Amino acid sequence: MTPGEVQRALDRPLAYTTVMTTLVRLHGKGLVTRHRTGRAFAYSPTNRADDRAAQAMTEALDRGADRHKVLSRFVSSLSPEEEGLLRRLLLEQGEA
């Protein structure tokens, strides 16, 4: 999306320059890629939503004082189906 497209898609009004500056900073951090479209750049996220969610989970785990307790609480909140999926994923990782 171009800065103008991003600006129009936002729930609250922001100045075009604010949107553009934010996108430039995100590009500088490697969080978005860009390519020229006419006189402007169009920006795209560098990673998918599931990648960002996994990164957020890792960061939350890193912030905890006791990784065992954090993981234990996380696992206890899983549904039986999610717990089964986690078990299968762990087994697959062990085979690799």
Query: Going by C-beta distance under 8 Å and a sequence separation of 6 or more, which residues neighbour residue 27?
Result: 33, 34, 43
What percentage of the chain has pLDDT greater than the value 70? 99
The pLDDT, as a whole number, for residue 90 is 92
Surface-to-core class of residue 23, CB atoms within 10 Å of its CB (0-12 exposed, 13-18 middle, 19+ buried)? buried
Indicate the pTM of the whole model.
0.51
pLDDT digits (tens, 9 = 90+) for 23-65: 999 999 888 999 999 988 999 988 777 887 888 889 988 998 8
Helices (H), 10-79: 16-28, 49-63, 67-76
Distances (CA, A) of 30 to 2, 17, 20, 75: 17, 20, 15, 32
Instruction: Quote the CA–CA distance of 55 and 52 in Å, as a whole number.
Output: 5
Domain ranges of the chain: 3-45, 49-95
pLDDT (0 to 100) of residue 95: 78
Contact yes or no for 4/40 (Cβ under 8 A): yes
